[in-house]
Structure 1
Amino acid sequence: MANNLLQSPAHASAVPFSRPPTPGVHPLQVGFCGLGAMGYFMARNLANSFKSQLPPLIVYNRTVSKSQKLLAELGASAVKVADTLDQLVTECDVIFTNLANDAVVMNIYNEFAKALAHSPPTKVKIFVETSTIYPTLASDLDKLLLSFPHTHFVTSPIFGPPKGADSATLVIAMSGDYRSKKEIAFLLVPAVGRKVIDLGGNVEKAPTLKLIGNGMIMGMNELLAETLTLGEKSGIGQQTVYNLIKEIMPAPGLVAYGNKMVNDLFDGTVGFAIDGGIKDANHIRRLSAELNCPMPAVDNAHRSLISTRAMHQAQVVAGTQQWDIIDWSASIASSRVAAGLDPFDSKKGTGVIRED
């Protein structure tokens, strides 16, 4: 099944697996389900990476216009649009999924199971779930798929924003069947991401690491929001505090989210929508409670996200919203309001006057 032409020696150190065997007689058919903020770029980069070596990437999305957009962008030599999930499952050897939440993931995989029951595979078929899901759901999906012959399941959540998906600089966690992971890793790097982290055979491990990573990011965002707000309220100015952060703590995440907060760049259609952040916060809090491992930073971040969403929804009802969907970096609104500032417009409020 493998297609070892897709991995250059320069990227070998980014993949913790040996190169797969030589490809078989039939070229590998890859499919992708879910063309959202992340999935669109991932599918596009996959299609571009092997359009001269493998058949066109088969894509499926509930909103067909997104599939048609990708087809128009890349052409029929790189992309083929599936009319149904059955077609995606039947025609593909590898199916990637990138979906909004656990309920959608479960629904899609139940549809996959129906297709597999109707047309049992006669050769290896690998399903790769790249969304952020609760770890026990991964086990449920694994059990569901392994009841069908020749079928394997890999969890492969990705770290990075849509901009990282666009530039193919994502970090990819991976757990599940070893041979399947080897196949998938050499498809994804460097086409979609820059590095694979192998978490072993237990499919729950990669989703667990993903939640840990997202918890760290949302805790960082909470502290960042509080710090920038204190800078503004104290008369130092949030821009000055942000400049200091870039000098002494220039981590990519701090710099990127700090820029969004300072400049009120809260458009969730080009970032990570706040509903997704709240969903992840709920998952992390559930995990920490089940493991008796408190994460108060995440608790605080969750409160800020909920408060911010409530403020934004009030604006939507009043018809005064600037963005129909807000990015989770807008959680700074909670800190601003608590400090007596405008939630979404940093130009309103204290105003910094320098004392010479």
Structure 2
Amino acid sequence: MANNLLQSPHASAVPFSRPPTPGVHPLQVGFCGLGSMGYFMARNLATSFKSQLPPLIVYNRTVEKSQKLLAELGASTVKVVNTLDQLVTECDIIFTNLANDAAVTSVYNEFAKALAQSPPTKVKIFVEMSTVGLISASDFRDLDRLLSSYPHTHFVTSPIFGPPPGADKATLVIAMSGDYRSKKEVAFLLVPAVGPQEKAPTLKLIGNGMIMGMNELLAETLTLGEKSGIGQQTVYDLLMRVNSLVAYGHKMVNDLFDGSIGFALDGGIKDANHIRRLSAELNCPMPAVDNAHRSLIGARAMHQAQIVAGTQQWDVLDWSSLIASSRVGAGLNPFDSKKGTGVTRDD
């Protein structure tokens, strides 16, 4: 099913040779899961190869997201299906970006049922791009075995690094692992950083653990600056000169905690739980992530209390809001840094 119609604009950056010359029909690509990340990825896939491939087939549990994408791009670019069976039957390559382990398990079991009812007669590739807790090699071997028990079917894991704005701008980093030929096919749709075999999900968690730990340290440092009277803006100005945590520092300093346009706090808690599980299994303590987890839980508790009282500013919190826990511990307002510290600066 290799296809010379796939001329990626970033082909020179793809770490695989070009797939050999094609069969008769162009690839049919599908996408399952139009959440805060998946919507942008599906949109960019659809538009990048609009003139080269058939309309992208999309499925989402709530059909409103699918209809929104259809309205944005038009029927010449997107086709909406109402069942996972249709997605499996009609597509050659299917990308999935799902919310959690339960969703991945449920969706892939449905995929397996569809494959059993209509065994493929040509190569079919499933590309899983979620951040999930199936972190061991055996977990993914089981999922790979489930799919590859059907003829011509292959499975590739490709967890992604980056927030929704990165998905919007097509600047995500992708760790890809799995069958080599399948990765060659997928590589001309996605320009990945290739991960080690069966370890791409672990690499994703390690990366998120690093960001989470830095966010925790950043939150504590900005809070100390505010409480000391130096001011969080002064600390942030220093930060801009010494390292790259500027984006999250900007959110914290300016109380930009709207999770609907960032990385949602619940997603951070989910990742923290996965990372702590990995840490425990490997006997490798990660106190910064433990502290970040505690801060995320604290921020969510404060936000839920505001929801009950009807005083919340945002329906969903960004994970940078973990600074709320540091602020409260220092006697400051959790989500509004404009409310004074009571400290008089002497400069």
Report the TM range for the smaller structure's normalisation.
over 0.9
User: In the comparison of the two structures, how many residue pairs are matched?
Assistant: 344
Contact 1:131 1:157 in 2 (8 A): yes
**Superposition pairs of residues 195-206 of structure 1, within 5 angstroms:** 196-200=192-196, 202-203=197-198, 205-206=199-200
Q: What is the SS of the residue equivalent to 1:346? A: coil
Separation of aligned partners in 1, 2:177 and 2:222: 38
AA aligned to 1:74 is: L
Question: Residue by residue, what CA displacement relative to the aligned partner does 1:54-111 show, whole Å, maximum 9, x if unpaired?
Answer: 0000000011011011011111111000111100000000000001011111111111
Structure 1: gaps of 5 or more residues: 190-195
Q: What is the SS of the residue equivalent to 1:148? A: coil
| 4+ runs deviating over 6 angstroms | none
Given candidates 255, 275, 279, the residue that maps to 1:284 is: 275
Q: What is the SS of the residue equivalent to 1:96? A: strand
Structure 2: gaps of 5 or more residues: none
Separation of aligned partners in 2, 1:263 and 1:351: 19
Instruction: Look up the match of 2:78.
Output: 79
Instruction: Look up the match of 1:192.
Output: none
Q: Shift of the alpha carbon at 1:132?
A: 0.4
Q: 1:300 and 2:291 equivalent? A: yes
Instruction: Look up the match of 2:42.
Output: 43
Q: What is the SS of the residue equivalent to 2:10? A: helix
Q: 1:273 and 2:273 equivalent? A: no
Instruction: Look up the match of 2:324.
Output: 333
Separation of aligned partners in 2, 1:51 and 1:351: 58
Separation of aligned partners in 2, 1:276 and 1:140: 25
AA aligned to 2:79 is: K
Contact 1:237 1:352 in 2 (8 A): no
AA aligned to 2:242 is: I
Q: What is the SS of the residue equivalent to 2:19? A: coil
Relative to 1, partners in 2 of residues 1:319 and 1:117: Cα closer, same or farther, differing over 3 Å?
Answer: same
Alpha-carbon RMSD: 1.4
Q: 1:317 and 2:308 equivalent? A: yes
Relative to 1, partners in 2 of residues 1:15 and 1:352: Cα closer, same or farther, differing over 3 Å?
Answer: farther
Relative to 1, partners in 2 of residues 1:206 and 1:287: Cα closer, same or farther, differing over 3 Å?
Answer: same
Contact 2:5 2:26 in 1 (8 A): no
Instruction: Look up the match of 2:17.
Output: 18
Instruction: Look up the match of 1:60.
Output: 59
Separation of aligned partners in 2, 1:139 and 1:318: 47
Instruction: Look up the match of 2:2.
Output: 2
Separation of aligned partners in 2, 1:25 and 1:36: 34
Q: What is the SS of the residue equivalent to 1:187? A: coil
Instruction: Look up the match of 1:347.
Output: 338
Separation of aligned partners in 2, 1:89 and 1:55: 15
Q: Shift of the alpha carbon at 1:6?
A: 3.8
